[in-house]
Structure 1
Amino acid sequence: MFWLFNRRVFIDNYIIDLPPNMRRIEPFLYRCAELDKLDAIRRVVGIIMDNLLYSPRLYDIAETLFAQGRHAAALLLYEGVAEAEKYQHSERLAICHYRIFTIQIGDDQSRNLKAGTRFEPFVERLDEIDQLDALKDLANVYRSLRLWDDVDETARKMKEKAKIQYSMKHQEKRKNRTHAKKTKSPLFGYVAYADLLCASVCEARGNYQQALQYTYAYADLDWVKETDEDTQHWVNLFKHWSHANVIVNKLLSGDISVLHEYLNYIDASTDTTQEDRVTQLLNIMIAANLYAIDVNDILKQFETEIESFSQQPSGDIYAQQVMPDYFAWFGYELAYYYLHQGMYSDGFKYLMNALLKANTLNNETYFINCMGLFARFQAHAVPETKAEFFNFIERVWINNVEKNDSSDRRD
């Protein structure tokens, strides 16, 4: 209560009644961020941001809070600066929107689409180097939303910009520029990753031959001039991904003979992460459902890992967005397989898991697919399973009505 009272007194006496002084305001904002007093930060920003002179310092504070991981507090400052400078064309404004986009990315895919749509017009205003990371992040969000036209367009932009930057980097007159701004990942990697994204677009569209061409392209990195250890690590990684995805494209195109080769590749892989494993098993399940392959033995082999699958995204946008989408997709494919195999207990278990994930992601397509699959097989569901399913659907409906304050709500 004492802190609440003093907060209000400080704002009233030192910000409203007196000309704002950043020497007083700055430590106050840091303290509010530390204590998660977002309302106070919001009020201060609203009071002082009529004057553009405060933008640079508030921006610097926001950057510090962002680096400290105090994203909720930083978001309020970035939004204040962006609103104050909305008619400007500064790089600072573009970075504010980039940070806002990064912070707002979360579980709700409909909100992620809005965040991506709002940010996209500001990409070209960023520094040329920052543009590469921004385009990569945007592409990963669009990939999680399965907006393949947007993935394709964004990946191509990133590739062209990365090629230009790579060429400039190695021009003779620039070789001594030791203080040039650096990308988060090796510069050549943006070219290779663009090909990987284009391959995923072709794969999603069922154009497996074109996907293979892109997959071969990001393995062929003989043009890379750097020879340091970090470069070699990434070159080997892209070759590793390419080898796996060549097999996957053959498998998904109907060449069942490569399934054994893919399993050998999985067994031989070292340092496999949970994200790697769900991607590998998802590929197998898609093929199994497309071509009616019996994969019961494979599922038994990975039973423990499948049971441990969970959504624990890291700070990386790929992990935040693409992998949760894959977890939901894998759950649906697994449910589809088991239900069509007549293994109803397992099928309905994974179907409910997929439904929960689809609801968390606010992914309408997955949610409808799960409902349709349940409708197809509900005659085989025990009463407890039916009750669980319909109770969940009712809760989702009630939450949706309340969220939208619909006039259809009844007591």
Structure 2
Amino acid sequence: MQNTLNIRSIVEQELQQKGYNLSRFSQVSGMNRGTLSLILNGNPSKLPSIPQLDKIAEALGYEQGWLYELYLEECFDREVPHWRRLKNFLYRCIQLDKEELIDKALHRLMEDCSQTAAVFDAAEEWYEEGHRQILLPFYRYVTVNEKYRHAERLAVSHYRIFRLSQSENFENNLRAAITFEPYRHELPVGFRLDGLLKLANIYYNQHIWEKVELYADELRELATEVYENKISLHEDQDREKGLETERHLVVYFGQGYVLKGNALANVKKYDEALTYISGYQNLYWFNGLDEIGQKEVLKLSHFSEANFLAVNLLKGNQSYLTRYTEFLRSNPNELLPGLMVIMDAANQHHFLVDHILDEFMIPIEKMKDELQYQNGYYQSTSSIERYEDLYRKLSVYFLKYQRYNEGIENLLKGLSISLRVNNKSNLLAYLAMGEVFRNYATNSQINRFEFIMREVLKLEEVQLSNFIPDNVK
């Protein structure tokens, strides 16, 4: 039996129940009587536009979005919908946050690959308006349907997916990076600068230093090429097609040196790292510096001072410890990364730094509590990673000197954060340390450790809850 449930029949039933004739409903809805007649009495009936459907819904006492499910079905049942009609429908779904209907519409549109360019252009238009996560299905549609596998819009779609997929989950970020990176060369130069900087930072958080070096080198080379070819160096040119960057050009140039130097320092190539630090020590020669650019240069110069002291300290030169501590006192924003450097140096070269911990750990913990209070938890993945890393270094320091209670307390703090962000490489290290030093833990610490391990099982979807002995539940 043919399904007679459609927009026309439902609206007719509503009008009848509420006692409206065509003339009266025209007055109530503010719609032209002739238009209403075509919708309700035409043969075949006219499918209303989205604005018309919203007016009908409002006049009948329903929320906007009423009958959208049927509207989508009728769009495709009658014929392949005209793109303008479908675009209006999709835009209203974005405004009303109807993600399920967007997915259904794009799935139905899969049968018509000729709309790929139109879908991409619409997504870019709406991206410029400020819409973000809800556009992911549009860009995924383009990546599936784009016939020319190296077309610019395919690369831009992968770039958008990469950026929109970023979260506090390190593993998800890494997966998004791996998917995106083969398409980076096909991007417009501005997007490529942004993409390379983001890739380098993701791999930095994952401690994959070879990749950090690779993308730092690419970033530095591309920024240099852009600079030397004088592409959009001034503020009034920054939004020209081909160089739509989120940051000033000097940031990409300087960060290419920063990331390269930091990656080298992390693999203990300290002398090489020092040569890259000099590359961003003084960038005031950089042409095209506006007020924003001047601030970025000052920030990079600040980084170079901090990193110069840090690398020399990591080389084992304890004479830099006092200077570095003084630097941190004068620059409280550097306390967290700075203390991580101090702990690395202390663990590598057997420095005693209790006096520094006594001074700095109280403000460090206060900063963490304020960050948690402001954002519900840590909003920035770099902040999360730093606190997790710091607790791991602290646990090593205390355990090395057989201060087991302090070591295990820091281990548990870091393990908890590592679990939350799904950082599996550090998670395994924490679990191993926990097992090795289990005999030195208090009963309370053992209970907290076992609770976290059960959470790990949940994360891995290991269904063992019915088999865990009662004494460890």
- TM-score strictly above 0.5: yes
Q: Does 1:229 align with 2:287?
A: no
Alignment partner, residue 380 of structure 1:
440
Q: For the residues of structure 1 that align with 2:287 and 2:340, how far apart are their CA atoms?
A: 35
The CA deviation at 1:222 is 5.5
Alignment partner, residue 69 of structure 2:
8
Q: Does 1:207 align with 2:207?
A: no
Q: For the residues of structure 2 that align with 1:178 and 1:151, how far apart are their CA atoms?
A: 27
TM normalised by structure 1 equals 0.87
Q: Which residue identity lines up with residue 281 of structure 1 in the other structure?
A: L
Q: For the residues of structure 2 that align with 1:122 and 1:386, how far apart are their CA atoms?
A: 47
Trace 1:119-158 onto structure 2 (pairs within 5 A).
119-158=180-219
Pick closer, same or farther for the CA change 1:171–1:389 going to 2, 3 Å: closer
Alignment partner, residue 218 of structure 1:
280
Q: Does 1:336 align with 2:392?
A: no
Q: Over residues 56-80 of structure 1, what are the superposed CA-to-partner deviations in whole Å (9 max), with x where a residue is unaligned?
A: 3322332354456543311011101
Q: For the residues of structure 2 that align with 1:177 and 1:352, how far apart are their CA atoms?
A: 51
Maintained 8 Å contact 2:261/2:273: yes
Q: Over residues 255-295 of structure 1, what are the superposed CA-to-partner deviations in whole Å (9 max), with x where a residue is unaligned?
A: 111111011111222xx44xx33211111121222223232
Q: For the residues of structure 2 that align with 1:179 and 1:226, how far apart are their CA atoms?
A: 14
Q: For the residues of structure 2 that align with 1:281 and 1:7, how far apart are their CA atoms?
A: 56
TM normalised by structure 2 equals 0.76
Percent identity over the alignment is: 27
Moved more, 149-158 or 182-191: 182-191
Maintained 8 Å contact 1:32/1:40: yes
Specify which structure has the bigger relative contact order, considering alpha-carbon pairs within 8 angstroms and separated by 6 or more residues: 1
In the alignment, which of 327, 347, 360 is matched to residue 265 of structure 1? 327
- Long gaps (5+) in structure 2: 1-61, 468-473
Alignment partner, residue 113 of structure 2:
52
- Long gaps (5+) in structure 1: none
Maintained 8 Å contact 1:401/1:409: no
Trace 1:283-322 onto structure 2 (pairs within 5 A).
283-308=341-366, 309=368, 320-322=380-382
Which segments of structure 1 move beyond 4 Å, counting only runs of 4 or more? 1-5, 67-70, 174-179, 408-411
Moved more, 376-385 or 66-75: 66-75
3-state SS of paired residue (1:302): helix
Q: For the residues of structure 2 that align with 1:364 and 1:396, how far apart are their CA atoms?
A: 10
Trace 1:14-163 onto structure 2 (pairs within 5 A).
14-67=75-128, 70-163=131-224
Alignment partner, residue 49 of structure 2:
none
Trace 1:339-350 onto structure 2 (pairs within 5 A).
339-350=399-410
Q: Over residues 30-61 of structure 1, what are the superposed CA-to-partner deviations in whole Å (9 max), with x where a residue is unaligned?
A: 33333432211100011123323433332233
Q: Which residue identity lines up with residue 351 of structure 1 in the other structure?
A: L
Q: Does 1:187 align with 2:255?
A: no
Pick closer, same or farther for the CA change 1:399–1:13 going to 2, 3 Å: same
Moved more, 219-228 or 155-164: 219-228
The CA deviation at 1:177 is 7.0
Q: For the residues of structure 1 that align with 2:190 and 2:65, how far apart are their CA atoms?
A: 43
3-state SS of paired residue (1:401): coil
3-state SS of paired residue (1:254): coil
Q: Decide which structure has the larger Cα Rg and report it.
A: 2
Maintained 8 Å contact 2:250/2:297: no
Q: For the residues of structure 1 that align with 2:239 and 2:392, how far apart are their CA atoms?
A: 49
Q: Over residues 346-384 of structure 1, what are the superposed CA-to-partner deviations in whole Å (9 max), with x where a residue is unaligned?
A: 333321121122122322221122122222322221112
Moved more, 291-300 or 64-73: 64-73
Q: Which residue identity lines up with residue 397 of structure 2 in the other structure?
A: Y
The CA deviation at 1:223 is 4.2
Q: For the residues of structure 2 that align with 1:237 and 1:386, how far apart are their CA atoms?
A: 44
Q: For the residues of structure 2 that align with 1:177 and 1:326, how far apart are their CA atoms?
A: 37
In the alignment, which of 412, 415, 420 is matched to residue 360 of structure 1? 420
Q: For the residues of structure 1 that align with 2:240 and 2:160, how far apart are their CA atoms?
A: 22
3-state SS of paired residue (2:437): helix
Q: Does 1:252 align with 2:310?
A: no
